[in-house]
Amino acid sequence: MDDLDRALAILIRNQIPLSWHPYEELAKLSGSDEAQVLIRLNRLQRAGLFFQIRALWNPSCFEYKTIQAAMKFPDSGLVDFAAKTLSEHPAIYYLERRPGEMALWFKMAVPVSEQLNSHIDILQRICGGQRTLVLPVRKNYKTREEEDLTLGGQSSGAVTERRRQRPRQLLSDEEARCIRILQKEIPIIDEPFKQFASQAGLKGERFLQVLLSLQKRNFLKKIAAVCKKKSQADESACFKVLWSIPDERVDGAAQAIVRFGKIIECQKKPVYPDWPYSLYADIQANDMDACQEVVQAIESVIGPWQKEIIAKGKVLKNTEIKYLNEDLQNWLRLNEAVYTTSATV
């Protein structure tokens, strides 16, 4: 990398201008020309300096609820089919397979108006699951900020149940169309917004006006280069350790656990009669022996409790949350024939 490469890396990390020729503006800021900027950015992307350029949305402005769930199967032969079914669901943005009783772990996000229990129940029936644990976050003690993918460290993560309530902001049809369309990679070409404006049925100037309005209202944070942080984006690289701790002791135990350097994430989740674990920690360790050492050190502080250690798994799906996703209702309509009873979420 030379000085111009480094200058461009800083500029695309901060923000891509909302203009019809954004890379021409970057060229002016970097003392170069547009053709040179396009060549260099494409080369830097291929070299892995950044993953892609895209719009970063503010999740707190969208009224969505997110949960983690884990599915158990009566027969291991069902898991591959179930994994394919889950990966095709439009609201599931993270899916992994792990050894143990609960073979598939996934995360999904839906609008608050959506019947999440309907989706869970239908998925279990289609997949042939024996049991699905619904595990919303009750309290975050430490988080990997799983959607924190930008070079500049700005989070675009999912909303949890604990997010602060804000006055509802209504979206116009134009704004909704632009949001749906602009959840794709933005190309490094002369007029990158031209194809998006066309898909939205808007003239270029009007399309940019809508984006500027969305940015002013805080729906759109910015358009910038993003990269996947290997230490955070891949949950399957960690061991999951689950403790069964009485509710009145969870806060104290969690505060002690997060002081350990190998802890990537620590959360409180609901318990069930057949699943008593209230505190979940993701531990970064090379192997099971190393994980056990960390667990022993933790338990020397918090005491011994019933626990479950779940070994590393394999990521089967890892995408961004799709806001205002019209495929969600279509999926429910197509599959509601199998829906008969409702699970409580």
pLDDT band at 164 (very low <50, low <70, confident <90, very high): very low
Give the model's pLDDT for residue 168.
65
Phi, psi dihedral angles at 15 (to 5 degrees): 180, 140
Element (H, E) at 257: helix 247-257
pLDDT of residue 333: 84
In this prediction, residue 17 carries a pLDDT of 96
User: Partners of 306 in the beta sheet?
Assistant: 244
Average pLDDT over residues 233-255: 89
d(CA 272, CA 191): 54
In the predicted model, is pLDDT for residue 15 greater than 90?
yes
**Helix, strand counts (H, E) of the chain:** 12, 12
Q: What pLDDT does residue 338 have?
A: 62
Does 320 score more than 60 pLDDT?
yes
Do 57-138+145-163+226-232+313-338 and 239-311 share a fold? yes
Lowest mean pLDDT among 59-63, 131-135, 187-191, 255-259: 59-63
CATH number of the domain located at residue range(s) 3-56+164-225 in this protein: 1.10.10.2890
Count other C-beta atoms under 10 Å from residue 278's C-beta: 23
SS3 track for 134-203: EECCCEEEECCCCCCCECCCCCCCCCCCCCCCCCCCCCCHHHHHHHHHCCCCCCCCCCCCHHHHHHHCCC
| 283 within 8 A of 294, measured Cβ to Cβ | yes
Q: Give the number of other CB atoms < 10 A from CB of residue 261.
A: 8
Give the pLDDT score at 45: 95
User: Which one-letter DSSP state was computed for residue 133?
Assistant: E
pLDDT over 70 for what percent of the chain?
Answer: 88
pLDDT confidence of residue 203: 96
Residue 11 sits at φ, ψ, to 5 deg, of -65, -45
**What does the pLDDT read at residue 117?**
87
> What integer pLDDT is reported at residue 336 of this predicted model?
80
Looking only at the bridges linking them, the beta strands covering 306-310 and 239-244 are: antiparallel
CATH number of 239-311: 3.30.70.3460
Residue 280 has pLDDT above 80, yes or no: yes
Instruction: Return the minimum-mean-pLDDT range out of 2-6, 271-275, 318-322, 337-341.
Output: 337-341
Fold classified for 57-138+145-163+226-232+313-338: Alpha-Beta Plaits (3.30.70)
Please tell me whether residue 62 adopts helix, strand or coil conformation: coil
Which of 7, 64, 19 lies closest to 219, judged by CA? 64
Cα separations (Å) of 163 from 139, 155, 159, 208? 11, 14, 6, 30
**Domain ranges for the chain:** 3-56+164-225, 57-138+145-163+226-232+313-338, 239-311
Note the pTM of the prediction, 2 decimals: 0.80
Q: What is the DSSP letter of 56?
A: E
Average pLDDT over residues 172-185: 95
Q: Does the structure show a pLDDT above 60 at 266?
A: yes
Question: What pLDDT was estimated at residue 269?
Answer: 97
pLDDT top residue among 78 and 66: 78
Q: What is the per-residue pLDDT across 185-199, written as a single tens digit (0 to 9) for each?
A: 999 999 999 999 999
Tokens encoding 46: 């291929």
Q: What is the DSSP letter of 272?
A: B
| Average pLDDT estimate for 259-272 | 95
Phi, psi of 60 (to 5 degrees): -70, -15
Mean pLDDT of all residues in 130-159: 66
Residue type, 116: L
Res 153 pLDDT > 50: no
Is it the case that residue 330 has pLDDT exceeding 60?
yes
For residue 229, pLDDT beyond 80: no
